[in-house]
Structure 1
C-alpha cells in the first residue's frame, strides 16, 4: 500500500547523499531507485540530512530516472565539522575547509568571529545559519586543535571526529586506584603455577602483557603447556563504573606513537599485566601434549602464576636462530609444537594471509624518521599459534558436551562468513591478465597457492589487498557460523582481555560454566543481552580500525614529503573515471595520478573498470601493471599523495 501512496503523492522524505560535485541522491522508502537532485535544487542540504522533497518529474530520461528538489531540511545529520581555517590577507571572512567528505561546501566564519584565530589552524566549527541567498553556511569556531599537520593536532582532531574518549572520568580512575590498594590474591581458590617456567613474548614497545606461556616436561614423551591470560574479569566487576567505561570503549586503539587504552593505565599496565617476578592472577588453558603434537588432556580454570622473564619477539628470534640462550629448550619445544599446529591448520583449509605491516620510527617531536615493513617471523608465529589454539579449545569446551554434541550454551564467538562470490569473480578477472588463476571450486587451496607464488612479486601487496577486500569481515556474535579464514568450527577471542571487551565477556561466560549448573544458570543473562554486546564490540572494532588507518595515512604522507621530486617503481592498484591509483612498492603507500595528467595520449577507463586505454595509441594498462612514477606532492591536509607518470 505504501508504494501506491508514494506513486500518486508529489512529496516524499529520505536521507540525502551529496556528491563532491554538489548534485545529490535521496534514498526514499518505496522507491527502488534513488531520486536525483541537481546542484541548484539541494536547497542548503548537507550530507546525511533527513529532507522533504518534491518531485520535478517522474522519468525525465530514457533511464527512467526520477528527479526532485529539496523543499526543507527536517533534521540535520550534524552541525559540527572539523576542518582547516583559511584566512586570506585582505579577508572579509575566514573559510573552514573540510576534506573528509562529511560536507561538500566550506563554512564561512565572519570577521568578527575570527579574533584570536590563525591561518591553517585545525578547528571544530559549528554551523549557525545558512541564509537563503548565500552559497555557503555561516559558522563559528568552538574548538582549536592546533596547527594543521602537527602530530598532536592530527591525533586530537581525529579522536574528536571519531568520538573516541581519551581521558578516563575521575570516578573511573578512583575505582581503578581502589583496586590497586586491595592486595587479596585469592591464592587458595586457584591452581598454583608459580613454580613452573613461565614467560611472556611481546613487541618491544608493549606496555600491557595479556598472555604468558608455561612449559614443563612430564616424561620423555609428554609435555605440559599452559596458556595463561590476564584475569581482567576478576578486577573489572560486571556493572561497575570501570566495566561500563570499558564497555563504552570496547577496545584499545593503537595509533602510531600513542595508545588509547580500554582500561586505566593502573590496570592495563600494572595490576592486570603479567609482569615478571610478580604473583599474577590468570585464567588458563593447560594441556598435556605428546611428541607427535596430539593433545591428551585439557584443563580450564583460574590460576596464579609468576613469569620468570619478559621477552621481546626479537630476543626470542635471536635464541631460535642461535640455538642458545635463556629458556632455549622451552622455546625450541614450543616452536616445534607451534609448527605442528600451523601444519594442521593449513591442512584443514585455513587461509595463509601473512601481510607485511607498515611501521614507523618517530623522533622526539613525533616526526616520522623511518618507515619499515614488519613481517611475522617464527617468534610471532609461535605466540600466534598458541593463542589461536586457546581461543579454539575454549570455545569448543563451552559449545560441546563430553559426547561431542552441541551444549546449547550461550557464548560469544568470533565468526567469519564465506566470501562474497561476486567479489571473488572480480578478483579472478583482475588477476587473470597478470597470469594468475583462481579455482573457484577449491577456493581456499587456490588462494593459498596464489599467496605462495606472489611472495616475491611487486604486485604482492595489491593482490593481498584484493583478497582481503573479497573476504567477509570477521565480527562477534552469539550465533556461531564458524570462522571461514581460519577453518575453525568454533572460535572465540579470549586471549587479550586487557585490550578487548569481547574477551572479558568470553572470560565471564567461561567462568560461569565452570561453576555448578545451578550457580551458572542464576548468573547468566539472556542471549539478546550478549548478542547486543557482541554487536557493540564489532561496531567499536570497525571504528578503531578506521581511525588507526586514517592516522597511519597522515604519518605516511608526512614521511613521504622528504622524497618530493624522486622517482619510484609503482603498481597500478585502482582506477576511477578521472584517476589512477598507484602503490609505491618501496613504501607500500598509495598515490594518485589524474588521467588528464598522463602525457602522450588521452586515456579513458575501460568498461570493465580494471584497465585504461589510450585514445590514439590504444595502449592498455591493467591493474597490477608496473609503472615508473615521480612523487610531486604529499598533501598532509588532504592526506593525499600526487604522482607524475613517467
Structure 2
C-alpha cells in the first residue's frame, strides 16, 4: 500500500497516450507503457473513441486508491474511419444502421441516401462526422459487397478487410501477356532432361504445377532422381512491374472454392506451370542415390524438362497400394526412398505432426453441401519428403560448399525457433489429467511419443492444436538459426515459386552463386538489410494469408453447420474463459461455445489455473479434453459463432 500511495501522490492526474481497447459493453482500457499497466476507462468517458484509436488520456487512482482510472481527452489518430458491417433498416427511423461486431457502436446513415441499398446488405461505410448531440457517428456507404452470408459477399468483404488485391491491373496483365508471347530464349546453358521419365503429383483440382519428379535407374544399385521446380525467376525479372506486384502479394491465397494467385493465371496456370507433354523451364536439384538411401552426388542448375504424366495424389496412392499402374516401377521406387528419408528425419529428431484438413464439397452457388476430412497419405508424404530434401540440400550448398567470399553465405532461410518453455509446461499440465506424459527434458521425443498415443482418440485434434500453439512460428530470415521442428540446421523454401515470393528470392540468389556473375548488374547482390526486409515482408504476408484463409474457412464451417441446429453432438472441451466453455465438435472439427451461466447442472466458475471449471454446489470439475455431449442451438454467420447447449458429460 505504501508503494501505491507514493505513485498516487507523484502521478495524480497524469496525462499519457496509448491505443484504446473498447469492449462490446462500451468500457475500455488503454495500455500505458511507462507503468506497464492498463488504465480502465468507464463507459461514459471514452469520448467518441473507437477500437484501436490512438488517444490522449488523463488518469489517476480511483477513490479506493487500488485501481487506475482515466478518461479520453482527445483522439490523436483514428485507427480507421472505414468499417465493414451489415446494413439494417428501421422504417420508423430517419437512419439506417450499419452494425460492425468489432466496434462497440453502430454507424448511422441517413435513409434518403439508402435508396439503392437493401436490408442485410454487407457494406463498407465511412464515418464522416460525429455530432455532439448524437450518441452514434454518421457515415456514408462507400461500397456494397452484396447480401450478407452469401459466398461472393463474404469473400469480397474479407479481402477488403485484409487489404488483399483480388484482380491484377491491366498494366500487370499486359506485361504477363508479353512474357507469355515471347519466343523461347537461348537454351544452351540448360541441361536437357526431356528424355527422362518425369511426372507431377498434385491435388485433383490443381492448375499451378510448381514441381515435378524424374527418375532414371543408372545401375543395379544407383538411381538418378531429379526434383524440378518451375523456373519462375527466368520470366519475372527483378524490379519489373510484375516483380513488384508479386512481391506486394508475396503469396497465393487459397480459399474454399477458389484461389487468389500471386502471379496472373496466364503465368501461374500456363507458362510457368509444369504441364504434361510440354517443354518447360525448371530449376533443378538432381542427385544420385543408392538403394540404402545414401546420396552419392548432387547437382543444381537450370534445366528443360517435359512431364510425361500429370498424377493426382489419389492415383499415386492407388498405384502404391495395388503395386501396378502407369510408371509403377518409378513411383514405387520413389515411394521406398521417401520412406527412408522420413525414417532418417525422425531419427534426427524431427517432430512428426500430421494435421488433418477439413474439406468441403460446394454446390454450383458455392454453398457447402458436405464435409470430409483429408489426411496425408503415402503419396502426399512422397512429394513432401523430396521437397524437404531439396530445400535442405540447396540451403546446405549455399551455406557450406561455396568457397571464397563469406558473403556467399547470404541466403533466405526458413527458420523455426525453439518452443516457448511456458507453453510447453502449459501443454504438460493439460495432457497429464488425460493420462498422457510429457518429458520436459526431452521435448521432441516426448512430443512424438504423445502424437502416436493420441492418434485416433477424440482429444487428438485438441492436443495437436495445443502442440502447434506451443511451437514458435516459422518465418523467413537471412539470419539462420535452423529449423527446430524439422531438425534441420539449414533449410529454405525453394520448391513453390509460383505461389511464394520467398522461393523466387531463393532462386535468384542460388543462380547468382552458381553463375558467379558478380560483375553483371542483374545478378549483383543487394545488402543483407535488403534481403532481411524482403524476408520480413514475406513472413508478414504469409501470416496475413493464413489468417484470411482461416477466417474464410470458419465462415464456410459455420454456414454448413447451420443446417444441423437442434441436433446433439459429441465434443471435447478445448478452452475456458470467465463466462464460457469452448468445445470442439468432433463431427465438424470446429469450435462452438457454451455460456457458463447456461449450464443447468450446477453454477460453474473458472478455476484460478484457467484450465478447469468447478461447480459451486457439487464441486464437480471439468478439465480441458473432457468429453461432452452438446446440442447445437444457434449459429451467427456474421460473427462466425456457434452457440451450444450443455447436455451432459460423456463417460
Q: Give TM class, smaller chain.
A: over 0.9
Q: Do 2:57 and 2:73's aligned partners in 1 also have CA atoms closer than 8 Å? A: yes
User: 1: CA distance between counterparts of 2:419 and 2:549?
Assistant: 24
Give the distance between the partners of 1:15 and 1:151, measured in 2 at CA: 34
Structure 1 residue aligned with 2:631: 630
Give the secondary structure class of the aligned counterpart of 1:189: coil
**Residue in 1 aligned with 2:4?**
none
Q: CA deviation at 1:9?
A: 7.5
Give the conservation status (yes or no) of the 8 Å contact 2:483–2:489: yes
CA apart distance, 1:544: 0.4
Cα deviation for residue 174 of structure 1 reads: 0.3
Residue equivalent to 1:319: 319
Q: Residue 638 of structure 1 aligns to a residue in which SS? A: coil
Does the aligned pair in 2 maintain the 1:185–1:281 contact within 8 Å? Answer: no
- The equivalent of 2:528 in structure 1 is 527
Name the CA distance, whole Å, in 2 between partners of 1:196 and 1:403.
Answer: 32
Structure-2 separation of matches of 1:351 and 1:357: 18
Report the counterpart of residue 644 of structure 1 in structure 2.
Answer: 645
CA shift, 1:108, in A, is: 1.5
Distance of 1:407 and 1:26 partners within structure 2: 46
Q: Distance in 2 between matches of 1:408 and 1:281?
A: 25
Q: Structure 1 residues 526, 402: CA separation in 2 closer, same or farther (over 3 Å shift)?
A: closer
1:13-34 Cα distance to aligned partner (Å, 9 max, x none): 2221222222222223423212
1:135, 1:299 → 2: CA distance? 70
**TM-score, normalization by structure 1:** 0.97
**Runs of at least 5 residues in structure 2 that lack an aligned partner in the other structure:** 1-6
Once superposed, what is the RMSD of the aligned Cα atoms?
1.8
- Match of 2:431, SS state, is helix
* Equivalent in the alignment of 1:80: 82
CA contact (8 A) 1:60 1:67 kept: no
Secondary structure in 2 matching 1:486:
coil
Deviations 1:125-172 (A, max 9, x none): 111111223222111111110000100000000010001001101111
1:46-65 per-position Cα deviation (integer Å, ceiling 9, x unaligned): 1111111122x2465564x3
Return the match for 1:37 from 36, 41, 45.
Answer: 41
Shift of 1:367: 0.6
Q: Deviations over 1:65-101 (max 9, x none)?
A: 32211111111110000011111343332111112x2
Q: How does 1:79-478 map to 2 (within 5 A)?
A: 79-99=81-101, 101=102, 103-401=103-401, 409-478=409-478
Of 15, 21, 33 in structure 1, the residue corresponding to residue 19 of structure 2 is 15
Q: TM-score, normalised by structure 2?
A: 0.96
Q: Check the 8 A contact 2:402/2:408 in 1, yes or no.
A: no
Give me the whole-angstrom Cα distance separating, in 1, the residues matched to 2:61 and 2:575.
36
Q: Which residue of 2 aligns with 1:49?
A: 53
In structure 2, the CA distance between the partners of 1:315 and 1:19, relative to structure 1 (3 Å rule), is same
C-alpha distance in 2 between matches for 1:430 and 1:53: 41
Q: Secondary structure at the match of 2:550?
A: helix
Q: Helix, strand or coil: the match of 1:399?
A: helix
Q: Deviations over 1:292-336 (max 9, x none)?
A: 000001000000000000000000001111100000000000001
- Which of 69, 72, 89 pairs up with 1:70? 72
> Per the alignment, in what secondary structure is the counterpart of residue 351 of structure 1?
coil
Of 2, 27, 30, the residue aligned with 1:26 is: 30
What 5-or-longer segments of structure 1 have no aligned partner?
none
The CA distance in 1 between the partners of 2:481 and 2:520, in whole Å, is: 25
Inter-partner Cα distance in structure 1 for 2:538 and 2:362: 31
- Alignment-derived partner of residue 497 in structure 1: 497
Q: C-alpha separation between the residues in 1 aligned to 2:211 and 2:560?
A: 34
Whole-angstrom CA distance in 1 between matches of 2:104 and 2:404: 57
* In structure 2, distance between residues paired with 1:604 and 1:503: 50
SS of 1:484 mapped into structure 2:
coil
1: distance between equivalents of 2:54 and 2:113? 29
What is the DSSP-based 3-state SS (H/G/I as helix, E as strand, rest coil) of the residue aligned with 2:534? Answer: helix
What secondary structure does 1:596 align onto? helix
Q: Aligned residues, how many?
A: 640
Q: Distance in 1 between the 2:344 and 2:139 partners?
A: 61
Q: Where in structure 2 are the equivalents of 1:596-607 lying within 5 Å?
A: 596-607=597-608
CA apart distance, 1:109: 1.5
Equivalent-residue separation in structure 1 for 2:606 and 2:537 (angstroms): 40
CA contact (8 A) 1:401 1:407 kept: no
Distance 1:186 1:69, change over 3 A: same
Residues 84 and 97 of structure 1 are in contact (CA less than 8 Å); yes or no, is this contact kept in structure 2?
Answer: yes
Task: Judge conservation of contact 1:60–1:66 (CA < 8 Å) in 2.
Answer: no
Partner SS for 1:184:
coil
